[in-house]
Structure 1
Amino acid sequence: MDLFSRSWTALRAAVGGLSGDDWERPSGCAGWLVRDLVCHLVIDAQDVLITLVTPADAEPTADAVTYWKLVDPPTGDDPLDALIPRLAAAYGDPSLLRFHFDDVGSAAGRAAELADRDLRVSTQDMVLTAGDYLSAYVMEWTLHHLDLIAHLPSAADPPPETLAAAREGLEKIAGAPFPASLSDKDALLIGTGRRSPTEAERAALGELSAELPFVLG
């Protein structure tokens, strides 16, 4: 819960720091500008709100790690992926997008703080405790924070503790640890295909390099 709040607060602060041409810069999500990514984050925040008020009576079928599934790399053909840039462009003035994001994002943050961690919730045909669901989103917020600042060199990185938690989660998904020589940030970027490893990094990864990238969905 604490890591959810830290990662979400940091990401919201990074969006709050956007100005001028920042909105039109590429993001770390292929084919999306920064404004497109922020529009996606509005939808993510809505998903948090919806899930936290969708209780389930069944036993949990997933946890913070198994919530994530390995999927094929995006091709750009997914209807939702294509819809996001159109939605983002419809805002026109980025200040309107910022306002909507801050409004919905604040509500999602408050809902997370108030949530009973033991409450069972339902999302995407899965049942999780609210605590596990919010823990899973530490990965989402941390990776998208890295996406947001990919071409904003003066922007702050995600908090060290959330980078470490996201790395730990990715290693559990991968079924193997990343080399200690890789920083948490580099392990996440390389592990999820956000950048290619150098020859030295590939050598350090060993057999794990053949399994990259781990694309989460």
Structure 2
Amino acid sequence: MEHFGRSWAALRTAVGALADGDFRAPSGCAGWLVRDLVCHLVIDAQDVLITLATPSPEEPTRDAATYWEVTGRPPDGQDPLDALTVRLAAAYGDPALLLHHLDDLGSAAGRAAELADPRQPVETRGQVLTTADFLDAYVLEWTLHHLDLGAHLPHLPAPPAEGLARTRHLLERIAAQPFPAALPDADALLVGTGRRAPTDAERTALGPLAARLPFVLG
């Protein structure tokens, strides 16, 4: 639960450090500008609020790792939902309006997570998982998108080390195999999720795991 709050706070702090011109920079998400990614974070905050307000009497069917649907196809920005996000982001016009909306929903999502019972099952995407597992899954979401936010804006603060380590651990659970210890957490996440191609040295270190990359999460 604490990892969720810290990762979310760090990501919102990084968004708050954006200058107006930064919103037009490319992000680490294919086909999305930084503006589009921030709009996606608004939608993510809505998802957190909706899910935490949707308790379930059923037993969990997923955990933080199996919550994710895994494919080997990196996004190309052409998915209808991705395209909708771009149109929604453009509709804001002034970045200040987008930031205001994220601040309102983001603060509420953070407070709701703090107040939630970690053992309570919740329903989302037709599946049931405990609140703790749902929020743990979102640590991965926040951390990867924090990396996406700063992909072309190196002046932004990086994700917290504990969030990177937690996300790596979850990705290794999804992969059912550890990444090489010599590969730093951020690089393991970028390479592992297809955000960049591995270097020759990294591919050698990855060994047979390299042939299974990328793990594209949705």
Structure 1: segments with no counterpart, 5+ residues: none
Q: What is the aligned partner in structure 2 of residue 54 from structure 1? A: 54
Shift of 1:191: 0.2
Q: Find the residue that maps to 2:128 and give its secondary structure.
A: strand
Pairing of 1:119-158 with structure 2 (within 5 A) = 119-158=120-159
Q: CA deviation at 1:77?
A: 3.1
Q: Percent identity?
A: 69
Do the aligned partners of 2:119 and 2:132 also contact (CA within 8 Å) in 1? Answer: yes
**CA displacement, residues 118-142 of structure 1 (integer Å, 9 cap, x when unaligned):** 1110000110111110011000000
Match of 1:24 in 2: 24
1:68 counterpart residue number: 68
- Structure 1 runs (4+) deviating above 6 angstroms are none
The Cα of 1:168 is off from its aligned counterpart by 0.4
Q: Is the 8 A contact 2:30 2:76 kept in 1?
A: no
TM-score (norm 2): 0.98
Deviation track 1:141-196 (CA, whole Å, cap 9, x = no partner) reads 00000000101111111000010000000011011110111000000000000011
Q: Distance in 2 between matches of 1:20 and 1:56?
A: 42
Name the residue aligned to 1:89: 90
The C-alpha deviation readout for 1:26-70, integer Å capped at 9, x for no partner, is: 000010000000000000000000000001111100111111120
**Matched letter for residue 8 of structure 1:** W
For structure 2, the residue ranges without an aligned partner over 5 or more in a row are none
* Alpha-carbon distance in structure 1 between the residues aligned to 2:75 and 2:192: 15
For 1:132, give the aligned amino acid.
Answer: D
Matched to 1:216, the amino acid is L
Deviation at 1:76, TM superposition (A): 3.0
Residues 83-126 of structure 1: per-residue CA shift (max 9 Å, x gap) = 11110010000000000011100000000000011111000011
Counterparts of 1:78 and 1:149 in 2: how far apart (Å)? 23
- Which deviates the most, 1-10 or 77-86? 77-86
- Which sits farther off after the overlay, 67-76 or 24-33? 67-76
Matched residues in 1 for 2:76 and 2:177: separation? 27
Number of aligned residue pairs: give it.
217
Q: Which residue of 2 aligns with 1:206?
A: 207
Q: CA deviation at 1:74?
A: 2.0
Write the letter of the residue equivalent to 1:204: A
Q: Residues of 1 paired with 2:205 and 2:110: CA distance?
A: 38
CA RMSD of aligned residues (A): 0.8
Mapped to 2, the partners of 1:120 and 1:172 lie a distance apart of: 21
